[in-house]
Amino acid sequence: MKQIHRKPLLIACLLAGASLAALATCATFILVNGMVEGPDPIPLGWPAVLEATQGETPDFGQDRAAVPTAIAFDPRTGNPAVVWEHWVGEDRDIAFSEWNGSRWDKTVFLSAGTQDDVDPRIVFDVDGRAFVAWWHQGAGPRVFLARRDTGGTWLPAEEWPGSRPAIATLGHDLHLVFERAVSGGLEITHVVVADGGGGVSLSPLVRVRGAGPTHVGLLVQAGRLWAYWQHTPQQIGWSEYVGSSWVAPASLP
């Protein structure tokens, strides 16, 4: 496998005149990706991205045209893990594989059924536990969260009514948000999995009028957690998680 052939070639900081050394403190920047052979021209410690040769990619199933895929890196090894929608001939199931240093491990299927499971998301916590979220399309959509412990064992997935999940880790805790239908619109629901699975709590974050989707997402930066969503067709809503609760939601503009 050839390593580190796809590299950042240009970083344009929105703070005019910022030097490369100042980029570490630049809050907003644009990363333009390209390809180059050899050493990284901008040695800022970006995680390695692997370019696989033929036969070294995971088995994405029969339909390889446009497979929704997510990637994360195990903090213990630095190796990438991927999840994707795997076409099995009649529907899509969620699949997982991890690079072991020389090859991709055997595919692990995290879901099975007769309707499509879609939009997989993956993150690792600081201890190396993997979390994968996705949702099940069809009447009565449901959100699923699967966890792999530090020993490599996948635990039975938990599920809730809802769709379009987003996940993030903050320290030892996993945060999951998703939307679900309620009277008059949608509710964004927040789930916390404490310390990798020591406790699970669920609470509403905000209600949004209309049929959606809300495109809810999570962002972790400098040890702080934010949620953002489409509050109205003209507004973006947001909130910060402080302590053990969300501050009052605000919107822009």
Q: Per residue in 14-39, pLDDT tens?
A: 333 333 343 334 443 333 333 333 44
- What is the predicted pLDDT for the residue at 14? 30
CB within 8 Å of 201: residues ≥ 6 apart: 191, 192, 194
The closest of 79, 76, 93 to 137, measured between CA atoms, is 93
Q: All domains of the chain, ordered by start, with CATH?
A: 1-51 (no CATH), 58-252 (2.120.10.10)
Per-residue pLDDT for 42 more than 80? Answer: no
- What is the predicted pLDDT for the residue at 62? 56
Per-residue pLDDT for 78 more than 90? Answer: yes
| pLDDT cut 70: percent of the chain above it | 73
DSSP states of 15-33 as a string? Answer: STT--TGGGGG-SSEEEEE
Model confidence at 216, pLDDT cuts 50, 70, 90, reads very high
| Distance of alpha carbon 146 from alpha carbon 148, whole angstroms | 7
| pLDDT cut 90: percent of the chain above it | 60
- What is the predicted pLDDT for the residue at 11? 31
For residues 60-65, give the mean pLDDT.
54
- What is the predicted pLDDT for the residue at 56? 56
Model confidence at 59, pLDDT cuts 50, 70, 90, reads low
| Distance of alpha carbon 35 from alpha carbon 7, whole angstroms | 6
- What is the predicted pLDDT for the residue at 154? 96
113 or 118: whose pLDDT is higher?
118
Q: For 146-166, how does the pLDDT look when each residue is reduced to its tens digit (9 = 90+)?
A: 999 999 999 999 999 999 999
Q: Is the dihedral of CA 171, 173, 178, 183 positive or negative?
A: negative
- What is the predicted pLDDT for the residue at 197? 72
- What is the predicted pLDDT for the residue at 68? 73
Its pTM stands at 0.76
**Cα-based distances in Å from 29 to 14, 23, 83, 106, 119:** 6, 8, 27, 37, 27
- What is the predicted pLDDT for the residue at 31? 36
For residues 33-58, give the mean pLDDT.
44
Per-residue pLDDT for 8 more than 80? Answer: no
Least confident piece of the model among 40-54, 94-108, 149-163: 40-54
